Copies of this chain bind each other. A is one copy, B any other.
Amino acid sequence: MRIGIVGGGAIGLLVYGYLSQIFPTTIYVRRPEQRDKLLKEGLTVANGPGFIRDVHVALSESAWDEDLIILAVKQPDLPTLLAAHPKAAVSDQTLLFLQNGAGHLDLLEDLHYEHLFIGLVEHGAEKTSDTTVIHKGVGTIKIALIKGDRQRVAPLLANEAFPMTFVSDWRKALDEKLLVNAIINPLTALYGIKNGELLSNVHFKRAMRTVFDEIMPFLTPPNPSKAWEHVVGVCQKTSENHSSMLQDLEAGRMTEVGAILGPILKRAEARSVHLPVVRFLYESIKAKEHMRSAQC
């Protein structure tokens, strides 16, 4: 199985670093600068495979011709990318989407691909340069079938170096991920703290719990009674990690707050329920985005 990974961010680099050890793999990046750097300097995955000299890299605008394409770009970048690659380039080509949140699911309906999967990344990863990523929290990727033949991802599941697991109910799995993202990402970004610091005092925990209580009625995690423990567990496992939303704010980039909190606010609106703290968090992160980008 040949694999193409689209996206040169923290997750794209991390996944390439591991999978290229096992499969013939190409990474597609948006910027020619990053392509050139990867060609010249190689890729370093700290706390992982280490230094990789020969990186197979191409620009994401070019044709994707591998059997399995893993989309590791941010959700707002998907529409343009998919418009440029509207149908399978090779027979039985499979797409695996690794986006946070649930904002991209509507897009999938219009795609002319037979095999579609989503994957929920539970790793902590921090990109420190165009050619370096740090594997900060070792987790798993949960893969779920949207449509097509689930056997298409079997080779991924069988690899030992970078564990992936198959989950049957993707809506529940997605909601579990959304729950974690909706709490940890905005709060760590708002407070400017590492994931683990959310557990460092009773007031942060209460703030977390407030968000949890507000969004839980609108989510269906696989195990509702253990959902709170799961969130706390992810904080612990990724305690040294700076969440992607915090990294985005600090780098003056747009965040994924719309993709993460947007679907929850929409579900609540559909039931005419106001979520004051989630709304407040959403506005706070958007405000900080505007402030940072105004400074840059």
Contacts and interface: CB of A to CB of B under 8 A. Distances in A.
A261 to B, nearest CB: 13
Copies of this chain in the oligomer? 2
Given A277-B277, A291-B200, A294-B200, A284 B207 contact: yes
A280 B190 CA distance: 12
Contacts of A276: 210, 214, 276-277
B280 A201 contact: no
A291 B197 contact: yes
Interface string A161-192: 00000000000000000000000000000111
A210 B279 contact: yes
A23 interface: no
Given A210-B276, A288-B191, A203 B283 contact: yes
B190 A190 contact: yes
Contacts of A207: 280, 283-284, 287
A204 interface: yes
Nearest to A287: B203
A193 interface: yes
A286 interface: yes
Given A201-B290, A290-B203, A191 B277 contact: no
A266 interface: no
Contacts of A284: 190-191, 203, 207
A207 to B, nearest CB: 4
Interface string A197-216: 10011011011001100100
Contact of A283 (B200, B210, B214): B210
